[in-house]
Amino acid sequence: MPKDARPGPPCQPELPLDPTARPKPAAAASEPRVVLTEPRVVLAEPVDLIPNILPFGSVSLLSGAAGLGKTALLATIAKAFRDGAPIFGHQPNPVSEIAIINADRGWARGGRVWFERAGFPDIKCYSMPDDPTFDPRCLRKKFERTARLGEFIDKLKLPRRALLFVDPMGLFLGGNLLDYDTCAVACHEIRVLIRERQLTLMATAHSGKLKADKKDRYARPQDQILGSSALLGFTDTQMVLASPDETGEPYYTFMWLSHLAPPETFLLTRNAEGIFEQVPDQEAGSPARVLALFPADGAEVTLAELAALAEALPLTLKTVQRALTALIADCQVQKVRRGVYRRLVVSLH
C-alpha cells in the first residue's frame, strides 16, 4: 500500500433504491402466481340520475350545431335537476350538487346569461377562459388534455353523486376528433376521471353541417355528431338538438338515444328569452296521426312498421303505443295478435 494511502470503509452490500423497501421472500417454484384485479375505486350505490337515460358515472353528449342553443338547453336541464322537476316526462333522482366547466368563451357574457335566464344564476362554475392562472399553451400537448380536464374538475371540489356539465367537450377528446383510436382512448380516460370522483358527466358536442342534398344526409341524427363514430360507441347516451331549418318541422327537435332504453323524441319551442320549453299537448291528435299510417284496406301492419313510419312525423314509440290503446278503445283499430294490428274498415252496405 502506498505511503499516503488510507484504508477505506469496509465493503458494504448495495442498498435498495428505496431505503424503506424490504426484500420479499422468493415464491416457491410450485406456488402458482395469482394476479388480483381490483377496481380503481369503490363506487357508491349506482342509482341512475334519470333511470336508463342518464346512468350514474356515465359520460353523455348533447350535440347540435354551433349557436343552436345547446347551453340554453343545458341550463334548463340543470335547473330541473336542482328543483327535482320532471325532465321530458322522466323523474330524475336527486344529485348532491350541480356544476359546469366552461371551456369556450368567457362566462359572464356567455353561458352565465343562459343560466340566469333559466333561473339558475348561482350554479358552481369553473371557466377556463377566465382563469388568470391557466396558460392555454399547455393545451398544445393534446395527449395531456384529459389530465387538464381532471385538474379543472378538482378545482370545483365536488362531492360524490354530483352532476357535472362540460361545455364543450371537443377540446378534451385527444386533439383529433376524426381519429377513432384517439377518441376512444380519450373517452376511456375521461370515464376514469368521472368514476374515480363518483360523478356523472353531461357535455356538449358540435354536430356536422347538413348537406344540401337531402338524399346525401346522415341516416341517423346521432351520426351527425362531429367526429369519429367512437363518440357513439364509447359514450353512454347521445342527445341531439336540431333546428326547424334542419328538420323541416315547425319546432326544434330534441332526441335522446340511450344504450339502455328506446330512443325518444320531443318537440321544443323557445320563449321570449330564448329558453327551451316542451311543446304543450305534444300528443294531442296523435291517435288520428297514427290511424292515418294504417293501410286503408284493413291490411295487417306490425308495431315496428308503425313506429318506423311514425318516426318521420315525429312520434315516439311510446306515443304510438298510447295512440293504439286509444284507437282500440274507440273500435277504430283491432289488435290481431301480439305486435300486429289492422284498421277496422266500416262497410257502407
Residues linked to residue 98 through DSSP beta bridges, in sequence order: 163
Among residues 300, 245, 243, which one has the least CA distance to residue 73? 243
Average pLDDT across the chain, whole number: 83
Cell numbers for 263: 330512443
pLDDT single digits (tens) 79-133? 999 999 999 989 999 999 999 999 999 999 999 999 999 999 999 999 999 999 9
Which residue type, as a one-letter code, is found at position 322?
R
Residue 83 is inside which H or E element, if any? helix 70-83
CB atoms within 10 A of CB 22: 7
DSSP 3-state helix, strand, coil percentages of the chain (rounded to 5)? 30, 20, 50
- The pTM (predicted TM-score) of the whole model is 0.69
Kind of pairing between the strands at 252-258 and 237-242: antiparallel
CB 180 within 8 Å of CB 229? yes
DSSP sequence for 270-300: E-TTS-EEEPTTTTTTHHHHHHTTS-TT--E
Distance of CA 14 to the CA centre of its chain: 55
Task: Calculate the alpha carbon distances from 61 to 181, 235, 279, 309 in Å.
Answer: 18, 7, 23, 27
11: confidence class by pLDDT, cuts 50, 70, 90: very low
Residues linked to residue 120 through DSSP beta bridges, in sequence order: none
210: confidence class by pLDDT, cuts 50, 70, 90: low
220 vs 330: CA distance, rounded Å = 35
Among residues 65, 54, 12, which one has the least CA distance to residue 261? 54
Q: Name the E strands within 36-107.
A: 59-64, 98-102
Domains and CATH numbers, the chain: 59-278 (3.40.50.300), 286-343 (1.10.10)
Which residue type, as a one-letter code, is found at position 171?
L
pLDDT single digits (tens) 19-56? 444 455 444 444 444 444 445 555 556 789 999 999 99
